[in-house]
Structure 1
Amino acid sequence: MREVPGLADAWYWSPVRGIEFAGALSADGRRLLQFGGRDSYDHELAVATLAFAREREKEVFDRNPFLGALEGFRAPAGRWRFDTVVGVAPEVHRFYRVELPGLTPFVRLMFPAYACEFSGGESLGEAETRYRMLHLNHLGREPLPFLKMRFANTRT
């Protein structure tokens, strides 16, 4: 584990080749905001995402406590087109549940994303499904738009 250049109270670690993480303390120092990349980690993107998340963590989760998303993110110039930061609550991600279960409630995953991928009204079950479908740690992914529909049978 080592400090993340360009972001105070932040660390980088890689448990195995190809899986890399950066984590930063929340503004109030009570939670770990964690960013990760699978065969796609980018230092500048990690710093930008975690800085945005730290400054606006409450806003990220205002509309949805399970899978919050906040538009207005500007990814560093280059190959990234992300416009949103998504926050994944412990009830959804369940990271560290085996090796450090006491840590899980204090970790919020934060990833760059696309606004079209979230409705803001996902239930806990829908948030879990979205989280698994999106592969947020594959940073080179294309947008996967989300459309929430409801059918009302007016005949029977």
Structure 2
Amino acid sequence: MSGGPIIPKAAFVSLLPALRLLRPILSVGEGDRRALSALTCRARPEVVRNRITARSAVYVAWDARIACRYVGSVHRAGTTAVADRLAEHYRHPREGRARAQSWALLTVLPLRADATVEPARSAEGWTARILSPLDGHAHPGVDIGVDPSALWDGAT
């Protein structure tokens, strides 16, 4: 998409280890900064709804200084899955307002169309482990003794 924000270099560099690790399950190339730019936008549900159509994805919220604030995943029917989940985050009774104020950009890592909920949750866990988000700590656990590529084989 032209005219949209370019993914900041700091965010792209931070994401590279996760992109390499998740390569077998992602529907975007690991080193494709242009594709990630199209999947990065202001962290506002209405903007995400108009730009992102992934039904299954890992998403990363960045603050204005490009620090990773949050990592989450979504696996739902419908092309507004990511935007709907973001709106839910902002409606959270205790943390919603702070999230809406501090989450400036959202990068979405869309998963393959045949992905199921289990690899989506595992991909979230690995991405959170790599990025160490400042907010949110209830990420799915990962077994660091198991090569993640084995999880993607046959998990879809």
Larger RCO (alpha carbons 8 Å, 6+ apart):
2
* Structure having the larger proportion of residues in helix: 2
Larger-gyration structure (1/2): 1
TM-score calculated relative to the size of structure 2: 0.33
Task: Say which structure is richer in strand.
Answer: 1
